[in-house]
A = this chain, B = another copy of it.
Amino acid sequence: MSLVRSDIGRLLQYKLCLLRFKELGVNTIFSYNLGEAAGVTAVQVRKDFSVYGIKGRKRGGYNIDTLLIELNNIFGNSRKNIVVVGIGNIGKAIIQYNERFVKKNLHIVAGFDIDPSKQNKSYGVPIYPVEKISEVIKNNNVSTAIIAVPFQVAQELCNILISAGIKGILNFAPIILKVPDEIIVDNINLSNKLEGIIYNINL
Which residues from chain A sit less than 8 Å from chain B, CB to CB? 1-2, 4-5, 8-9, 12-13, 16-17, 37-39, 74-76, 80, 82, 89-90, 92-94, 96-97, 100-101, 104, 106, 143-144, 146, 167-170, 174, 176, 184, 186, 188-202
Given contacts A37-B176, A92-B93, A176-B13, contact A104 B197 (CB under 8 A): no
* Minimum distance in angstroms from A39 CB to a CB of chain B: 4
Question: Would you call B197 and A144 a contact (CB within 8 A)?
Answer: yes
Copies in the complex: 2
29 contacts between A and B (CB under 8 A): A4-B196, A4-B199, A5-B200, A8-B199, A9-B192, A12-B192, A12-B195, A13-B189, A16-B174, A17-B176, A37-B176, A39-B176, A74-B199, A75-B198, A76-B199, A76-B202, A80-B194, A92-B93, A93-B93, A101-B194, A106-B191, A106-B198, A143-B201, A144-B194, A146-B194, A169-B197, A184-B197, A186-B196, A188-B193
CB-CB under 8 A from A76, the residues of chain B are 198-199, 202
Option from B39, B170, B194, B199 in Cβ contact (under 8 Å) with A194: B170
Question: Would you call A39 and B1 a contact (CB within 8 A)?
Answer: yes
Nearest opposing residue in chain B for A194, CB measure: B106
Question: Would you call B106 and A195 a contact (CB within 8 A)?
Answer: yes
* Minimum distance in angstroms from A173 CB to a CB of chain B: 11
Question: Would you call B192 and A186 a contact (CB within 8 A)?
Answer: no
* Minimum distance in angstroms from A118 CB to a CB of chain B: 14
Q: How far is the CA of A196 from the CA of B5 in the complex (A)?
A: 8
